[in-house]
Structure 1
Amino acid sequence: MTTPETSPATEKPGMPPWAKKAIGIAVMAVVLVLTFFILRATVPRGWANFVRSLVGGSYSSGLAWGLMFGVLCTLVPLLLFRAVWQVRKFKYARPVQIGLVIAGVVVAVPNLLTLAIATGNYLSAEQGRMQFATDAPGFRGATLTGAIVGAVLFVGFLVLGYMYKKRGKDLDKMRGELKQHEPQSKGEAPAPEI
């Protein structure tokens, strides 16, 4: 049996990788927008009922739960999204990155739901706002405050990480310079630096 040989000129090259990615991103965006519009009618009321059951009408409990949700549901997703960038050179980076993005979005859902209730102008958001005002006092404001604190902590972690890496590079540079100044003969001891 003989196999027909195909020349490169007759093969269809297919779509370039950037076009495939662009189409994939566009499809995901459309799906997300449609999901948002479908879920916005029911989910805010459910979230408001859940928060109402947690808080139980207590102002101090509303503050505590709001701060906890605000800080954790902002800081953890930002750290997960940062990890997406850090694992880009791993052997199986793409599945890990997708998992981290999904985990970050899932962890951010409580803050996004609270934001949807606080800023939405549709019926379920208005009902959720009324439930927050009567049965979960202080929760919305505390969530906003916690989100700001979580973002500031994330920036602090980034700054500390940068300083740590810079310190390591500076130490490596100083060690290299010190190694260049070491005496060549074994009997000669280096002078102590003061």
Structure 2
Amino acid sequence: MSDDGDASPGTTAGERRYTPNDVNAGRWVRRGVLILVVAALAYVAYLVAAAFFPRWWSQRVADQVNGHLTAGTLWGLFYGFVFTFVPLIVLAQVRRRFFNWEWRGIVAIVAVLLATPNWLTLSVVAGNSKAAHAGERIMDVDAPGFRVATAIGAVSAAVIAVVVVAMSMRLSHQRREVKNLRGKLSERDE
């Protein structure tokens, strides 16, 4: 045997046996490095998106509106309403019992993606980057009324979606009660 303190029976000098704890520690180090790399990439993607998307979205809206207040208002109401109402109705499907947690996450991601036009408008309105300020100026000149109309459409869509989901839940509850009562009546009649 060797004088090496790390050697254990069945190993030669200079070799080291790894225990399951050593392997698990290596996994956690790899996971930690992976998390740091993903976080850094997400931050860089955020910076690139903040520099590009607000100006790009403002140009797309300005091309549609073409400087007309009426068109800006109508397009704003359309985008605000549709891209708030539809994602909220899709998101409400998460409460369905037949979805497992994986599908609920997918449905939630789809709902967030469906609201992309509203997220882009919000990046112009609430952003503090140079692109967001440029986007505000573009919308002020070439898309008047769009931002305010989008906010009005989004708020009204949110209210209507909450009412629709609440009514749906109430009707579902009443259907279950009627089914339960019919079952009790049929038991009593037998």
Structure 1-normalised TM-score? 0.71
Matched letter for residue 61 of structure 1: A
Match of 2:185 among 178, 188, 192: 178
Structure-to-structure mapping, 1:26-175, within 5 angstroms: 31-86=41-96, 89=99, 94=102, 96-97=103-104, 99-175=106-182
Structure 2-normalised TM-score? 0.73
Deviation at 1:29, TM superposition (A): 6.3
The Cα offsets for residues 50-100 of structure 1, whole Å up to 9 and x where unpaired, read as 00000111111111111111111112222222334426645xx63x44543
CA distance in 1, matches of 2:168, 2:65: 36
8 Å Cα contact 2:92/2:165 also seen in 1: no
The Cα offsets for residues 138-193 of structure 1, whole Å up to 9 and x where unpaired, read as 100011111111211221121111111111122023213322432x5xxxxxxxxx
CA RMSD of aligned residues (A): 3.1
Runs of at least 5 residues in structure 2 that lack an aligned partner in the other structure: 1-18, 26-32
8 Å Cα contact 1:87/1:97 also seen in 2: no
Identity of aligned residues (%): 30
CA distance in 2, matches of 1:82, 1:25: 30
The structure that is helix-richer by fraction is 2
CA distance in 2, matches of 1:26, 1:176: 57
Runs of at least 5 residues in structure 1 that lack an aligned partner in the other structure: 1-9, 16-22, 185-194
Secondary structure at 2:115 match in 1: helix
Moved more, 166-175 or 23-32: 23-32
Deviation at 1:115, TM superposition (A): 0.8
CA distance in 1, matches of 2:173, 2:180: 10
Q: CA, structure 1 residues 168+75, in 2 after alignment: closer, same or farther (shift >3 Å)? A: same
Q: How many residues align?
A: 166
Deviation at 1:43, TM superposition (A): 1.1
8 Å Cα contact 1:59/1:136 also seen in 2: yes
Moved more, 30-39 or 54-63: 30-39
The Cα offsets for residues 5-33 of structure 1, whole Å up to 9 and x where unpaired, read as xxxxx756959xxxxxxx99987666544
